[in-house]
């Protein structure tokens, strides 16, 4: 793997971990600040999606084979859920 590609994968992994943290914090805030069950359930799903974003970040750091596919899937799920909610 070339140095440029390795740097890009490392940057993608760091960004994925940051996104996971932001989504988890957003879900926790939604759970804590919601006044009804619907808001709380949306916050729980948001937090779960954020926790799911940590695994592709770790897999990218370790260089596993399916890490890019998993990253695309998890990020697509986060974007779709955020757009709907």
Query: Which tens digits make up the pLDDT trace of 20-75?
Result: 999 999 999 999 998 899 999 999 999 999 999 999 999 999 988 889 999 999 99
Task: Assess whether pLDDT exceeds 70 at residue 4.
Answer: yes
Q: Note the residue count of the chain.
A: 85
Task: Assess whether pLDDT exceeds 70 at residue 5.
Answer: yes
The Cα–Cα gap between 56 and 72 comes to 9
pLDDT of residue 1: 58
pLDDT of residue 85: 81
pTM for the structure as a whole: 0.86
Q: Residue 16 is part of which domain span?
A: 3-84
Q: What is the DSSP string of 8-40?
A: HHHHHHHHHHHHHHHHHHHHHHHHHH-SSHHHH
Q: Is 60 helix (H, G, I), strand (E, B) or coil?
A: helix
Q: Is 74 helix (H, G, I), strand (E, B) or coil?
A: helix
How many domains, in total, are found in the chain?
Answer: 1
């Amino acid at each position: 793997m070339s140095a440029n590609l390795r740097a890009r994968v490392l940057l993608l992994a760091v960004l994925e971990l940051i996104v996971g943290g932001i989504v988890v914090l957003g879900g926790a805030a939604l759970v804590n600040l919601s006044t009804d069950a619907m808001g709380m359930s949306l916050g729980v799903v948001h937090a779960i999606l954020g926790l799911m974003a940590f695994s592709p970040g770790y897999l990218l750091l370790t260089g596993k084979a399916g890490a890019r596919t998993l990253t695309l899937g998890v990020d697509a799920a986060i974007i779709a859920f955020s757009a709907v909610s």
